[in-house]
Amino acid sequence: MQGLLFSGHDTLELATKYGTPLYVMSEDIILERIRGLKNAFEKTGANYEINFAGKAFTNKAMCKIIKNEGICLDAVSKGELMTALAVGFPPENISFHGNNKKESELRYALEHHIGHIMVDNEDELSLIDKLTKEMNTEIEISFRISPGISAHTHELIQTATEDSKFGLPYALAEDIVVRADQYEKISVVGLHCHIGSQIVDDEPFVLAAKKMMSLYKKIKDRGVALRMLNLGGGFGIPYLTGDEYFDPVTYIPQMVKRIRDLCDDFEMDMPTLIVEPGRYFTAEAGVTLYTIGAVKEIPGIKTYVTVDGGMNDNPRPALYGAEYEAYVCNPKDHEDFKPYAVSGKACETDGLIEKVNLNQPKVGDILMIPNTGAYNYTMASNYNRYPRPAVVLLSGKRDGIIVRRETDEDVLRYDEIPEWL
């Protein structure tokens, strides 16, 4: 009998073919999201760029997808840069982010002609100045600014309050940016802010846009040839049925109009507008499949459903209380939904879902947790020395591995024993 479908594919067949735990990604959903956002921008007539926030889901296949769609990449490490370049991603379409870039990483970026560096602090600026002179190369930069906006999201994923490790403090930014424009081989072309993740209200975005445009105007008036304004990402998605969510396709024309009105008031040309979606493109495009290994009832308290994964492949519930739904993929003769707690097999409390109604879960059934396409794979670990899951990509009627399952030998491969043992 057919199991639960995801993106037109039978989840039971996928679990049988590839094993569990298994990350499953839908290229069709990713493309729908990318093209919808591009279309929203195109209708406004504004100059724009879409930078995929690679930290959400980076591997060679994903870099190929965004390359084929003609959008840009926001990378935050040498590893992400290498992954993109390995599939022929145009280096001029990559922006290198991060709050503590190593000299070796910056040198790699300059050697490979990465198009843009997002500068976080003055020490990094000095290092870039030194390297560009030493290597006799030029680079375009923007500055990440912390505009002092408290986004309505979990405190651990707010990134633009006054007390933030990211970016220049808003009150100090103007003078620093103007001074940076005097560096010999550095061109300051833009400003950037990112106020947080999983935001479902447009008010913080509007406040950030107003503050950033005010700063942009002041810096332009002091002779810096800015031409780009990057308003980041953080667009929230509905993890649970009925959750609020943020629809950037609706928001983009409103954002463009607000920026255009401000430019008219300032008698200033409209900048190229940039956004950095990550979760919005991939979260709902992914599910994780598990095999149920035990159903344990504690009378009068709760019943646990234990699966063959856990915080190793999804640390988000442990990190900041992320919530998920779950579904039994196996067909049942009738409906008999009861509350269960879904837990993993790691040696921790390891609760994936505190309470969810499931239909007759049994040992050996396949359990699907949706909306796991962002951060789950990229945050996965080998805790308890468990191998990391495989990643499968669905496209139309096709399915194929894009990241192979780690083996037990992979877990041991980097171990060394000193000569004295």
By annotation, the residues acting in catalysis are 347
The number of CA neighbours under 13 Å toward the Cβ of 175 is: 3
Task: Please say whether the beta carbons of 170 and 146 come within 8 A.
Answer: yes
Residue with tokens 């949706």: 370
* For residue 21, cis peptide bond before it (omega within 30 degrees of 0): yes
Q: Using alpha carbons, select from 285, 278, 193, 286 the residue that is nearest to residue 236.
A: 278
Structure tokens at 231: 């308003």
Q: Using alpha carbons, select from 384, 302, 287 the residue that is nearest to residue 345.
A: 384
Within 8 A by CB and 6+ apart from 88, the residues are 67
CB atoms within 10 A of CB 79: 12
Structure tokens at 328: 């039994």
C-alpha span between 52 and 109 (Å, rounded): 18
Q: Using alpha carbons, select from 242, 346, 339 the residue that is nearest to residue 290.
A: 346
C-alpha span between 1 and 12 (Å, rounded): 9
Across the strands, what pairs with 196? 158
Task: Please say whether the beta carbons of 70 and 52 come within 8 A.
Answer: no
**In terms of DSSP bridges, do strands 94-96 and 116-119 run parallel, antiparallel, or are they unpaired?**
parallel
